[in-house]
Amino acid sequence: MADLAGFFGKAFAELGAYVGTVGGQIAGPPLARYHSVDAEGVDVEAVFPLAAPVAGRGDIQAIELPAGPAVQVLHTGPYDEVGPVYDAIETWLTEHGRERAGPPCEVYLNEPGDDPSQLQTLVVQPITA
């Protein structure tokens, strides 16, 4: 977890540069898909939504995120304080008898260099229909 800021800085810079070289058009804010987070590490994808798919290269691949229902919560504050949002989503899922239907995403709505107290992260959890 401590290395995520460095990973995202490098990954989003590399993605942005690659998209520009292949004529792609970024169509929204960056996001991260968290496949797993545990004591052994984090399995995460850095993603830019694009207006149209582009050819991949190496670790950079086009993916298509599935459409469907989701629960989402907007967190305002430092990235390292987003944990309670996940707890609230888990509580909502239990109370409403719903289940996760894929990995959660964090959509980063403003720049990481902004005032940490004003950072906005939209946590989106796909759920079963």
Classified as helix, coil or strand, 106 is strand
Whether residues 84 and 52 fall in one domain: no
Q: Is the dihedral of CA 66, 71, 76, 79 positive or negative?
A: negative
| Arithmetic mean of pLDDT, 33-59 | 91
Token digits of residue 71: 């629960």
Average pLDDT over all residues of the chain: 92
Of 11, 36, 63, the residue at which a domain comes to its end is 63
DSSP letter at 44 equals: E
Whether residues 46 and 92 fall in one domain: no
- Domain of 54 in residue numbering reads as 1-63
Whether residue 9 contacts residue 32, with contact meaning beta carbons closer than 8 Å, is answered with: no
CA distance 40 to 37: 8
Tell me the pLDDT tens digit for each residue of 87-126. 999 999 999 999 999 999 999 999 887 789 999 999 999 9
Of 38, 63, 88, the residue at which a domain comes to its end is 63
Whether residues 71 and 91 fall in one domain: yes
Whether residues 84 and 40 fall in one domain: no
Number of domains in the chain: 2
